[in-house]
Every structure is written in structure tokens, then in C-alpha cells.
Amino acid sequence: MENRLFKKMKSGGIGRLINIIQTLFVSLLRIWSIPIVLLLSVASGFTTFYGMSYFITPWIALIITVAIQSIIVICSFELAGIHLKANRLRYFSVLTSLIIAFTASMAFSYFKFYEISEHDTIRIERINEVGNQVDTYLKQLVSVKSTLLAQQKNDLEKLGKEVSQAYFGTHPDIPPQYRDQVGEGPVWKHVNSIYQDKKAQLAQLEERFKAVDQSIIPLQAGLNKLDSNPLHSEKAYQEVSQGLHKVQLEFNQLTAKYRTDLPSAPVLMTYSQFIETVKPSVNNLPKFTLFPLIIAGMVDFFTVLLSYRLEFSAPGPLTEQEEELVFECLKQFNEFRINENDAVEIIIEKTDIERARHYVDWPRMFAVGLLLSRGFLRKVDENRVEFAPNLYPLIAEKMGEKLQKIKRAQALAQHNTRNS
């Protein structure tokens, strides 16, 4: 084989070398399509199994996934070898099986590609959901705090007016004989004592609210960590949950003696729910996006396309015997021309004379079919084919060999004539 290639390269020159390299390269690409089909099938099978395992037991999902991918590859390969007009029932049965398997694979693969493409979006939505729940609760606490402080300040202002009234002798509780007397009498002392206690309570209440505000700071910091550092999200989520519980406990202990209609703290999702992947359900249908479905379809489409093309792939370059057979059979055609593509074109239909003589053309038609399957000929229509670029060096080599034989025969004949 190596001697043959070296001989061809030596006799054909650089053009023959380029043709050999091109043919080997195309052959390698066609061979490489087989592992590509297998890898695509495995990739599609993984995503299909991932989506199917949400609905059924994993080992059953694995068996069905293997069946689906096998049907896709086998039906694609088989469909390429079936002609619709030859066997309609078989053609449509294979096509229907392929469509069902393709649809099932694409549908279940969608969930994996959806998770990949929408992972960040889903995470942001859950962070926003937790953040909105906490913010809503904190706003309710601020509202209760403001109302409570305003009420306490209003009560303190009323007590301050009573203290002033008691000092100037105009307080309603002052006996008539002591009215309009200015000074710090018994009523003033009593009212002032209540005022000072109320003032101290208000100051203490404000200080304790400040302590609650200080507890809110770590809670908000935990929310920021949850958004900014995905690698430490579990620790940040625990800080948020514990911080929310601490704020609720401190605020309720502080305000329980003043009012009973306190806001309820939100029930946050668990951390496992926070990080869980998308589960297929009816609730997720409104969130359907087209892009993951297109990606899932592309993987299966490439699997179908390459499997389909395997039926038409040439196994390799022509052998020496095949080259000789092809050259001899092509010489039997009579009608050649240069077509609009600047390529040599052959009329493969029988001529009238050949029909009249009942010419048997199956050898040359076999040669045409062989060259079409190997990519050395290209079909123009049902009666015409044209040379592919890689056929010219082969024909040129064969014509050169024939010419060399003719020259050697002529030289030998001249030599024999002179000797005689």
C-alpha cells in the first residue's frame, strides 16, 4: 500500500499528492462521524435521563433512555436506505418511530438545558423572594414601631401638660381651695412622678428599639452575602434565617405588653428548597422558554443528521482494481461535454443506437454508482452526472499510463521494424 501511494505521488506530482491527502482527509472525517454520533447520543441520553428521572424510577428511566437513543440512531440510519415509493408502510413506520423518539428525547432534555440556561435567573428569583419576604416583614415592624413610639410620645406630651397644669394650680384633680396656687404641691409631685416614669420608659423603649435595629443589620448583611457570594450561600442563608428569628423574638418581647396585633414573621423556604433544581410541573409551564428547547432539539437533530448521513458515507478511497474498473467502464460512455459548472459531464442514459443494439450497460452504471457513493461523481439530474474535482487526477493518471503504454508499444514496433 505504501509503495502504491509513493508510486502515485511520484507519477502524479503535487496534484496527485493533494488529491490523495484530500481523499484521506474526507475519509477520516467520515470515519470520525461514527464516534461523534455515539457521543451526541450519549449527551442527549444524559439530558433525557435527567429529565425523565423526575417522573419515574431512575433505573427505569435509564432503560427507556437507552431505548430512545437507540431508536433515534437506528431509525435515522435505516431511513436513509428506504425509498418512499418502494415501501410506503415501512418508510412511514420508521419515520413515525423516529419522530416519537425524537420528541420524547427533546421534551425530557428540555428540563436539563432549562436548568443550565436559567440557573442564574432561578437563583435570583429565589433570592428576591426571600429578600421581599424579609423586607415586607421589616416594613411592618417599622410601622408598628413608629405607631407605638408616636403613641408613647403623645401620652408623654399629655402628661407634660398635666404637670404644667398642676404647677400652675389649674389641674382638675387639685382641690378647690388650692386652685390657682403656683408651686410644687402634692398633685404636681404625683403627676410629675408619673411623667418622669413615662419619660424613662420612653427612653428605655427607644434604646431597646435601637438594639433591635442593630440586630437587623446582620440580617440585611446576610441578604447581601446571599446575593454576592454563591460559594458560601448556605452560611449566608443560615445567617438570614437566624437573624430573622432573632429580630422577631426581640421585637415581640419588646412590644408584646403594648399591643397584641403584632405582624407574623414570614416562613422562609428551607435551604434545600432554596438550592433545589427545577422540578417539572404544571406550575412551571408559564415559565417556559424557547431557547432551552431549541438547544435540546439541536443535539437530537445533529444525532439524526449524522446517523442519516452514515448510510451515504463512502468507506474510503478507490483501490487499484476499482480504479482500473472505473476507468474502463467510463470509457464506454459516448456523450461527454463541459457543463455550466466548468466540469466534465456524462450523459448516462443509453443512446438510440445502444437501445437498438440492446446494449447491456450495467457494468458502466455500476461504475457510476460506485463513483457517486465515493464522492468522485456528482449527480446533475436523472440522466447526467459530472466529475468531482478529485476524479480528474485519477483519470489523468490512468490516461497517462495508457499513453505511456502506447508510446512503449510504438517504440517497440519501430525497433522490431528496424531489426527486420
Task: Report the top-level CATH class of 320-415.
Answer: mainly alpha
pLDDT in tens, 70-108: 988 888 877 776 766 667 788 888 889 989 999 988 888
Cα–Cα distance, 353 to 336 (Å, whole number): 16
Cα–Cα distance, 16 to 10 (Å, whole number): 8
Q: Which amino acid is at 248?
A: Q
Identify whether the C-beta of residue 351 lies closer than 8 Å to the C-beta of residue 335: yes
What are the residue ranges spanned by the domains of the chain?
Answer: 14-118+288-310, 125-275, 320-415
Residue of 386, 400, 376, 390 lying closest to 18 (CA atoms): 390
> For the whole prediction, is pTM greater than 0.85?
no
**What is the dihedral sign for C-alpha 364, 365, 368, 370?**
negative
Identify whether the C-beta of residue 171 lies closer than 8 Å to the C-beta of residue 191: yes
* Class of residue 257 by CB neighbours under 10 A (exposed 0-12, middle 13-18, buried 19+): exposed
pLDDT in tens, 353-405: 878 888 888 888 888 888 887 777 888 888 888 888 777 777 877 787 788 88
**What is the dihedral sign for C-alpha 226, 228, 234, 235?**
negative
What pLDDT shows up at residue 63? 92
- What DSSP state is assigned to residue 282? G
